[in-house]
Amino acid sequence: MKGRVTNVGIGAAVGSLLVLATMQGAQANSDLQNLTKNADNWALQTGNFTGQHNSTLNQINKNNVKNLKAAWSFSTGVLHGHEGAPLVIGDMMYIHSAFPNNTFAVNLNDPGVIAWQHKPKQVASVKAVACCDIVNRGLAYGDGKIIKTQLDGKLVALDAKSGKIAWEIEVCDPKVGATLTQAPFIAKNTVLVGCSGAELGVRGAVNSFNLKTGELQWRAFATGPDEEVKLAKNFNSDNPHYGQFGLGLKTWEGDAWKIGGGTNWGWYAYDPKLNLFYYGSGNPAPWNETMRPGDNKWTMTIWARDLDTGEAKWGYQKTPHDEWDFAGVNQMILSDHKVDGKVTPLLTHIDRNGIMYTLNRDNGNLVQAAKVDPAVNVFKKVDLKTGTPVRDPEFSTRMDHKSTNVCPSAMGFHNQGLDALDLDEPIVYAGLNHICMDWEPFMLPYRAGQFFVGATLAMYPGPSGPTKKEMGQVRAMDIVTGKYKWTKWEKFAVWGGTLATKGGLVAYNTLDGYIKTLDKDNGKELWKFKMPSGGIGAPMTYQFKGKQYIGSMYGVGGWPGVGLVFDLTDPSAGLGAVGAFKELQNHTQMGGGLMVFSL
C-alpha cells in the first residue's frame, strides 16, 4: 500500500479513523507494552514509554565491568552520523543506518548472518536540504512491524519477520526543505513522527498515523490558528500565564508563522494513565530574530497532547522569541517523585538553552528550572512564578551587532542525546555539550527549499572546564532540586547521551571513539573501549539466553559533523577553519556500525 500525506487540513475522514484506531489500539499495543516490561528486550529508542533510558539488568555491574570485551560487531557500510540504537525484540536485532537509511535484521543466534535487509532507493538530491548531516535516529517496533523513516520524507512499515513493505506514506516534502531524520514513536495504535527543516522555513507539526494502515489520524502544527495547533478548550487552564488562545497568530508579524519553523525531530514520551504524550517543538525560522518580532508561539514549547485526538492540554514555551537557535526538541523523561513531600507526576527536560526543567506532567506546573552549567549566560534565571526566562541583554542578538561569548552555542548545552534517569533516585545523568559562540546576524529572503538561517557563527569551548578546553561533560543532577551530584569532563561534546543500569553503571560514547562506563554514585571511570569511529548515539543493553550485552552505534555526523568546519578554539576563525578539529576528523573516516560487548 502506498499513499501521500499532504500539508492540508485533516478533513472529516479523521473521525472514523479515530474510532477504528480506538478499537484496534489496545490489541496492537499490548505486545509492545509487554516487550518494554521485559528487560531482555530493547524495544524503544527511549528505552521505555517514560523516556527514562535505563535498564533493570545488573549482570554487568560496577564490580565486573572491567572485564567487558567486544563480543561482535556489525558494519552498516555507510558513512555519516549514526544516532539512535538498534532494537532487540526476542531473538532478533534490527539495525539502522544514516542515509540511504538501510535497515538490517539479524538473528542473535547467529549475528554474523543478515536475516533480511531493506535498502530503499532515494534521490541523492534530498541530502542537499538536510540540515546538520544526513543522520537517522533509529527504528520503532509495533504490531509485528518495523517502522522506519527515510530522509526523503517517507514513513515505511516493514514486516518484522520478512522485511517486506506493509505500507509506505509520504510525510514530508523535500521540495520545501522538509526531511525525516526522527525515530518514530509508537504508543497504542499510533505512530508519531515529525519533519525536520526549520532551517529552511518549514512549518513544524506532529503527525499521528495508524499503525496498522499508515493512514493519517490527525496533525497538530506548532504555529498558526488554534484549530490547526489543536488547542483543547481548557488549554493551559492551570497556567493561563503561559498563554492560551490566538497566540499562534498574534505573536507573529503578518504571515511569518507560515514559514516559522517549530519542527519536531526529537523524542517523545507517553503516559498511559493520562493518555498524554509529550514532546518539544523546535526553533523559529529564521535564526535572525530581527526578521520575526514577537514571542513566536508555539515554537520552543513543551507540549502535552492527548494521544487519540492530538489536542493540547498544556504547553510551556521555554524560550519566547528565540535568538540563538535553541531548538527545544530534546528528550522528555517521565517519573514520579516527591515534591514538597508529595509524590508528583513529573516531566524532566534538559533544553538546548542550558536549562533543566521539571514540571508536573498532568497540569504543566513548573517545579524547577536550573542551569545545567554555571556558564549559561543568556538567561540570569527562570522566574518560577511566571515561567519566563530572565534574559541578560549583554548576550542577546540583534542586527548590526556581533554578540560574543554567548553560552550556550547554537549546538546547545544539550542536544539530541538520550539521557538516563537513575532507577532508584531522582538523578538524571546528562550528556552535555560545553560550547559557546559568537553570533552575527544578516538579512535574507525566504525561498522554498533553500536554507533560511540569517546568522554567522563561531564556536569554541566554554569557560567552566578544568583546563578551559573541554567541550563536553557528563553531569549527575537532581531533577527536583536542580543540584549537581558529580561531573565527569570530556574533551569533546557528549552528544549521544547516557544509559543507566541496575548494575550501578552509567554508559556513554565520546566523539573521539570511546564507549565508557562510570560509577553512577561518583562518576569515576570504570571501563572504556576504543570503537572504530566516534559515537553520537546512546548505548543500549539487552539480555539473550541469560547473558547481558551492551550495544552501541558508532559513526560521527550531525551537528558534530557540521562542527568540523568550525574552529572551536579560535573565536575569530569562524566558518571554514578546521585546524582545531583535525584530531576529531581522524575519528570520522571509518564509517558507521554497531559494537556489542559482554563479559
Residue 402 burial (CB count, 10 A): 11
- The span from the CA of 223 to the CA of 220, in Å, is 9
Number of H helices, E strands in the chain: 5, 39
Task: Return the closest-CA partner of residue 195 out of 217, 167, 222, 224.
Answer: 222
**Residue listed under C-alpha cell 533493570:** 56
Grid coordinates representing 177 are: 526543505
Q: Are strands 355-360 and 366-371 parallel, antiparallel or unpaired?
A: antiparallel
C-alpha grid cell, residue 296: 513566536
SS3 of 324, please?
coil
Give the helix, strand, coil percentages of the chain, each rounded to 5: 15, 35, 50
| 284 DSSP 8-state letter | B
- Is 325 part of the annotated catalytic residue set? yes
Contact 219, 208 (CB under 8 A): yes
DSSP letter assigned to residue 30: H
Q: Is the Cβ–Cβ distance between 318 and 378 less than 8 Å?
A: no
CA distance readout (Å), 162 to 109, 116, 117: 17, 7, 9
CA distance 559 to 417: 12
Query: Do the Cβ atoms of 472 and 498 come closer than 8 Å?
Result: no
The order of strands in the sheet holding 103-107 is: 87-89, 92-96, 103-107, 114-118
59 conformational bin, left if phi > 0, alpha if psi -120 to 50, beta if neither: alpha
Three cell numbers, residue 418: 538520550
Between the alpha carbon of residue 322 and those of residues 123, 287, 291, 299, 317, the distances in Å are: 34, 8, 12, 9, 10
Residues 308, 417 contacting (CB under 8 angstroms): no
Annotated active-site residue in 152, 325, 351, 478: 325
54-55/498-501 β-pairing = parallel
Selection from 598, 553, 220, 263 nearest residue 417 by Cα: 553
Task: Output the nine-digit C-alpha cell for 5.
Answer: 500525506
Contact 151, 423 (CB under 8 A): no
Residue 278: its H or E element: strand 276-280
Q: How is residue 31 written as a grid cell? A: 505486545
Query: And the C-alpha cell for 485?
Result: 551530584
Active site residues: 325
